[in-house]
A and B are shown apart, each in its own frame.
Chain A
Amino acid sequence: MKYTVRSSVDKHEFQLPRKAEFTSEFSVEMKGKNIAVRILETNSDGSLRLVMVNNRVIPVQVDRRGDGLPERVYLNGVSYRVEIEKVESTRFKPPATVKQVSGQVRAELPGQITSLFVEVGDEVEKGQTLGILEAMKMENELTAPRAGKVRQISASPGKAVMKGDLILELS
């Protein structure tokens, strides 16, 4: 199967063995070079855990998007952005990237809202700091996921929030 994967700096095209022939040890051709790959360990859910590439052992982690496609790969803790652009086949196409960014700002971790810098009706820009969530004695900026108008504020300074709680919503 031919894969096209885009990283933050380059576009990579290569063939992986078909599933039927898949073994934990194989060779992949990339830009004219042969790369020797072995899968050494997987997690209990089958996800990759330890691979050997050209005789180098690398612990790996793969973060996925909501639709299940890998979006970030950590090689020994170092993060690489990836996007699977194409898998060559007549029957399978990766779902199109969701372009609609939600206007909901939720608590990414449990903590306490210590400040909010906006009010209902304020126009905000993408990336603007909307407030501060304190957790682990650290301050975390709440930033606008996109431009918009503040439609609703569900939290107030001093309030404890759990992971996933809605803090405010942009229209």
Chain B
Amino acid sequence: MFKKVLIANRGLVAANCVRAVRELGACAAVVYETSDLGSAAVRAADEAIEIRSSNGSTAYLDVNAIVDAAVMCGADAVHPGYGFLAKSQELAHLLKERDIAFLSAPLFPRTKEVAQKLGIGVLPGTPLLRNWAEVESSYAAVGFPLVVRAVASYGGWGHRVVNDLEELRPAWDHVAKQCERHGVPGDIVLEKYLPDAHQVEFPVLRDHSGRVLALPEFETSVQRRFQKLIAESPAPSVKGALRGQIESSIPALVNQLGLEGFASVVFQIVGGEAYLSEVDGSIQASHSVTSLFSGVNVIREQVRVASGEALRIQEEHVQRRGHVIGAFLYATDPYRKFTPSPGRIGRFHAPMGEGIVLLSTVAAGDIVSPHYDPNIATLLVHDSTREEAITRMRLALADFFVDGIQTTLPLLRAIVDSADFVKVEISTSYLFSEDRRVQLLKGLRNEEDDEIAALVAALALNTDANASQIMESAQHGGLLWAMASRVLNRKKMEF
């Protein structure tokens, strides 16, 4: 086992990594920017190292700052969590030079080639493209619609759907610029876009001796422009013999790719056929679904295997317990086209109870920063069947109340309430259109509550005059005058 692992991330993923490392008996160090000094990950860690940005952007993405911190604290491994760093070849290289392990698998540029030779269906796409000339000579083989995707893409970032040739250049420029701005390599691929596809991912561990352990798959079809909103396990889109077919193809694939550690093999499923799109070597927020469903702590096993220890878990230890659904809360406003909604959290009433697990590092009164990823919580429910898990999730989401900032909660409720979700008819493009978002949100309203809303609006105006000075003037000039002057005063104050 490693002696000390430096966790180079923040928020929930950092806290989860800190715990996994400590559970293994290793020392967990974590980097932080000043504003995160009181965060859950920093509190849980054995050691916290401040990093400062040298270029005005966040230090969490500053590869050199991370390497310096690792060297300074004497870490023998760095866990990047998920995100840009996890896909940084530069960081991987710098750490290797210093003989520090990097807990994220490298990119596997030959994935599709190897898969095809093994008879696995692959999503048509190009190899890594580095300039426009290469794009021009290869898009025709993929065909429209296609996705321009940065290899370092994650969480809704670094993708663009392209419907025709005219859109290709702007999309390419856009993604290339995004890579540049975030300091990640401009490795970009073009891939066939299948709007009707469902997305399913198969997590897998492989140790140094070549032993492979495939974990149960999970589905992430419910996304908004590539940002995942819901994950569930087992994947309802994988039916009949398909699961066995895919599962049996994975050991040979990861053996040939030479995976050491952990990865997810990602498939697009359409018309009962599975097409491999990538092998993603980093952990993700959705893996918490796998952990709850299978009983295997994915991060902990990833660290164990990466440290050179043999896989301890046997096939028979991997459970498949009923059904698990995970919903991701982001601090973005679904009523305003998902505008980020940073700010101070007012109330944070989380659902609790049997079969409900809330993963979050925020609480009432905390500030959600505009500078970082907007994921503030993951709500997991567990039940015996998918139908029961859906009902449990529906009620849990209805009990979940956050104010002060806006969150994706209303949209999550609308999705889980929808017949399309129940019938597994939500494909990855479902939430692409704004009309769909508006329709879903409208569906949450009802006539009775419309009346109550009107009542509350009037009540808000009415009770406003409750303030003592207003009461005083109300006695002199009458209540209505007081209300009017209050309104006028407010207007003056604000303009």
On A, residues with C-beta under 8 Å from B are: 1, 3, 5-10, 12, 14, 16, 18-20, 22, 28, 30-31, 35, 37, 39, 42, 46-49, 51, 53, 58-62, 64, 66-70, 73-80, 82, 84, 87, 89, 91-95, 108-112, 114-115, 135-138, 140-141, 160
Q: Pick the contact of B491 from A9, A42, A67 — CB < 8 Å?
A: A67
On B, residues with C-beta under 8 Å from A are: 56, 155-157, 174, 177-178, 181, 331-332, 335, 337-342, 347, 349, 370-374, 398, 401-403, 407, 409-410, 441, 444-445, 447, 449-467, 474, 478-481, 483-484, 486-488, 490-491, 494-495
Bound-state CA distance A9–B455 (Å) is 14
CB pair A30–B451 under 8 Å, yes or no, is yes
CB pair A78–B487 under 8 Å, yes or no, is no
B243 to chain A, nearest CB (A): 34
Which residues of B sit under 8 angstroms from A80, Cβ to Cβ?
445, 449-450, 453
B347 to chain A, nearest CB (A): 7
CB pair B155–A70 under 8 Å, yes or no, is no
CB pair B455–A48 under 8 Å, yes or no, is no
Which residues of B sit under 8 angstroms from A5, Cβ to Cβ?
454-455, 457-458
| 7 A-B pairs closest in CB distance | A80-B453, A92-B480, A5-B454, A12-B454, A136-B340, A68-B490, A3-B458
Which residues of A sit under 8 angstroms from B463, Cβ to Cβ?
22, 39, 42, 46-48
Bound-state CA distance A133–B11 (Å) is 24
CB pair B451–A12 under 8 Å, yes or no, is yes
CB pair A136–B444 under 8 Å, yes or no, is no
CB pair A1–B449 under 8 Å, yes or no, is no
Bound-state CA distance A140–B177 (Å) is 16
CB pair B456–A60 under 8 Å, yes or no, is yes
CB pair A82–B480 under 8 Å, yes or no, is no
Which residues of A sit under 8 angstroms from B460, Cβ to Cβ?
47-48, 62, 64, 70, 73
- Nearest A-chain residue to B489, judged by Cβ: A68
B227 to chain A, nearest CB (A): 8
Which residues of B sit under 8 angstroms from A70, Cβ to Cβ?
457, 460-461
Extra pairs beyond A14-B458, A76-B401, A138-B332 (18, CB < 8 Å): A5-B457, A7-B454, A19-B462, A19-B474, A35-B452, A37-B459, A46-B467, A58-B452, A66-B491, A67-B491, A69-B461, A77-B407, A87-B483, A89-B480, A109-B341, A136-B371, A137-B157, A140-B340
